[in-house]
Amino acid sequence: MMMKNKKDNIAEYILYLWQMEDVVRAFGTDEAMQQNKFLSDLQQMMREEGVMDTGHVQLAKNALSELEDLHLEMLDTEATYRAAYMQLMPQLNILKSKSDNPLQSDLSMMFVFLYNIMLLKMQKKEISPATTVIQQQVSRLLAYLSKTYKDNQDDNQTAF
């Protein structure tokens, strides 16, 4: 099991970490899991940070926080991004109103939404056409945000 690279696609990286946290929760101290260094290390982190039952490791929280900062910056500086986000706001507000954490950030809600869609697909449950449209909008917005994050990381590495 290969670790996703945060710099290459931070949105995939966050979703991957969340998924692996659920794998650790599902398999606990399973012998096969202990043979996987990444999962074993993640389990150790989860224990130390007290998120074995629920929540996310600091690694995932930090990545989401970095993306949140970029998201807020782009709302101020990128008209195309802001327009796409504004178009999505009514659906995000509906999702948040149905959430057990309606005060979470819009960006966090987008990740929770995509993660739940992924879980539904793994369970082979049907996804409504309207939900699929929202999923596509959220995915496009996060892909643009992730690409900007990657471009910024690349720019920072080549700066003298």
Residues 16, 92 share a domain: no
Q: Which domain holds residue 145?
A: 59-158
Are 139 and 101 found together in one domain? yes
Query: 50 and 79 in one domain?
Result: no
Q: Is residue 4 part of a domain?
A: no
Q: Three-class SS string for the chain?
A: CCCCCCCCCHHHHHHHHHHHHHHHHHHCCCHHHHCCHHHHHHHHHHHHHCCCCCCCCHHHHHHHHHHHHHHHHHHHHCHHHHHHHHHHHHHHHHHHHHCCCCCCCHHHHHHHHHHHHHHHHHCCCCCCHHHHHHHHHHHHHHHHHHHHHHHHHHHHHHCC
What pLDDT digit, counting tens, does each position of 45-91 carry?
Answer: 999 999 999 999 999 999 999 999 999 999 999 999 999 999 999 99
Q: Model pTM greater than 0.85? A: yes
Q: Is the model's pLDDT at 39 over the cut of 90?
A: no
| Same-domain pairing of 71 and 128 | yes
